[in-house]
Structure 1
Amino acid sequence: MARQELAHYLRDRRAALRPHEIGLATAGADRRTPGLRREEVAELAHMSVDYYTRLEQARGPRPSARILDALARALRLAPAERSHLFRLAGSTAPPPGGSAVRQVRPHVARMLERLPETGALVTDAAYDVVTWNPLARTLLGADPAAGATNLARRRFLGGGPAYESTSAEEFGHIVVARLRRAADRYPHDPRLAALLAELHSGSAEFRQIWQARPVHAPGHRTKTLDHPDAGALRLNCDVLLVPEDDQEVVLMTADPGSPDARALRSLAARAT
């Protein structure tokens, strides 16, 4: 978190916003500067004046995504300005709106099509698979019907082929960490709320990990899939971010020249 830079940015944006632009009366007002007062920004963002003041003085705690979104609305930030605010606070800016984005951008979908020997899929902030290529479908063994494939539900509640034989504990922590971030960013998303309620009620393991508040950044890991046709496959899993939509692209590959790579190539040929 760039605390000093964040404080400076908030002060600058507050000073640049004129009261009449947000419908505040200015006639007869005792204003030493043309911008908004701190208490006005705090009221617009539905937070205490003391909390906002500490942010402007670089004394405050790291603000949550919900707080940052409220500040972005209060200060009337444009999309690029809003993203900059989140970066200064050390947070990934979710797309504006109250729900996770569940459509994939065409250029991202086309990228998956150009990776025939890589299992590739895109998940939204709630771990719904929004698109995947034929090899990924073959590897994970599930019907990609809209809304029916959620990796968090599969991990904690079952409902799909249990192909993953290693790294299951690590993946559970990754899932919960991401769902905690999603819950903070999309508090009014009904589908996400329903998923979290289902996981809490149906999985003691999920409840235990949730209470531990795990933190995990997307990156590289290795997993083993026990595929019914190809046998045990040691795969590399790498995650690329689509930050404007709060989505992740998961790429599953095998080490070049390995038996796993040859098995992937064979599965890809069958899948297409």
Structure 2
Amino acid sequence: MGLTPPPSAARRSELADFLRTRRAALRPEDVGLDPGGGRRRTPGLRREEVAQRSGVGLSWYTWLEQSRDVTPSAQVLQALSRALLLSPSEEQHLFTLAGVALDPAVTDAPVDAETTALVEGLLPHLAFVLGPRFDVLAHNRAAALIMADLVSSPRPNLLRWLFKDDGWDNTAWEQTARANILDFRTEFARRPGDPAYVALVDELSAGSPRFREWWAGHDVQAMEPAAKQITHRTLGRLHLLAAQTRPAHAPWLRLRILVPADPATRTTIAQALDQVQDGG
């Protein structure tokens, strides 16, 4: 994992404020300390207690809270995250402010039960989850119905699916494919030299002249259009509206949702799901 750009003075100030507020938000009893252990002039934990809980030197931790020009390692940030009982989104924010990339063990972890339940709960709408490398990590029955050749593949990956056939020649596909390249580039930039990401780019570049051209161009692209048309081999043309969001507890994931854009599409998908449910 490589580093993101070094934090500016403003970012270091934000990091210091963030650490102080997280420390102040913790009560001694939250971390198994005696709340009566000496008079406390300020709420929350003392710096000494955070340093002891994390195994980080007191001087080093104090420098962070003083906005000093120091760059902690990923291991130090993870230790502070555990000591301060940070949520996953708070931990990501901590790493961002410090200018350090998140450990791949965090961002490549399996999808948790809460996210899986959310995806299932979005039925009858199509929903699936992408990891940072754009691997499909979870999907619901509507996604399996509409995008079967993507989610049922041995290594389901949205970019592989989009660029598996350069014979696609329509404006809607081009807008979607270009927008996904831009979105993926933000993840690639956070992991300079990461073998898994480099290998995927090399694979796509070798197999798709369009991917190779667009990737090399470093173009700025508008956001992916919300309105989509999918021509399904049995259901015909479907008109959909797409959105992407990030689960608050796992912000490194992308939750993609597609809903019918017209009554005909809504009816077609509902009937197809009913048939699957009934075993038809």
Scaled to the shorter chain, the TM-score interval is 0.5 to 0.7
Partner of residue 150, structure 1: 157
Pair 1:17–1:188, CA change in 2 (3 A): farther
Is 1:120 aligned with 2:149? no
Is 1:192 aligned with 2:204? no
Displacement of 1:150 in angstroms is: 0.9
Give the 5 Å matches for 1:190-229. Answer: 190-215=195-220, 221-229=226-234
Query: How many residues of Structure 1 are paired with residues of Structure 2 in the alignment?
Result: 233
Q: Distance in 1 between matches of 2:251 and 2:193?
A: 17
1:217-247 per-residue CA deviation (whole Å, 9 max, x = no partner) reads 8776111111111111111111121252511
Partner of residue 267, structure 1: 272
1:130-163 per-residue CA deviation (whole Å, 9 max, x = no partner) reads 111111111112264575211101111249xx7x
Structure 1: tracts of 5 or more residues without a match: 27-33, 46-68
Residue 138 of structure 1 aligns with an amino acid whose one-letter code is: L
Is 1:41 aligned with 2:70? yes
1:87-127 per-residue CA deviation (whole Å, 9 max, x = no partner) reads 669x9x97533574252121121122223321111111111
Partner of residue 239, structure 1: 244
CA contact (8 A) 2:77 2:94 kept: no
Pair 1:187–1:76, CA change in 2 (3 A): farther
Aligned equivalent of 1:254, options 246, 249, 260? 260
Q: Distance in 2 between matches of 1:113 and 1:240?
A: 16
Partner of residue 139, structure 1: 146
Partner of residue 64, structure 1: none
Residue 255 of structure 2 aligns with an amino acid whose one-letter code is: V
Displacement of 1:255 in angstroms is: 2.7
Q: Distance in 2 between matches of 1:101 and 1:168?
A: 28
Structure 2: tracts of 5 or more residues without a match: 1-6, 21-45
Is 1:130 aligned with 2:137? yes
Partner of residue 28, structure 2: none
CA contact (8 A) 1:224 1:232 kept: yes
Identical residues among aligned pairs (%): 21
CA contact (8 A) 2:238 2:265 kept: yes
Pair 1:109–1:12, CA change in 2 (3 A): closer
Residue 83 of structure 1 aligns with an amino acid whose one-letter code is: Q
Displacement of 1:74 in angstroms is: 10
State the secondary structure of the residue aligned to 2:205: helix
CA contact (8 A) 2:12 2:69 kept: no
TM-score (norm 1): 0.66
Q: Distance in 1 between matches of 2:221 and 2:173?
A: 15
Q: Distance in 1 between matches of 2:218 and 2:143?
A: 30
State the secondary structure of the residue aligned to 1:207: helix
Pair 1:5–1:39, CA change in 2 (3 A): closer
Cα RMSD (Å) of the superposition? 4.2
TM-score (norm 2): 0.64
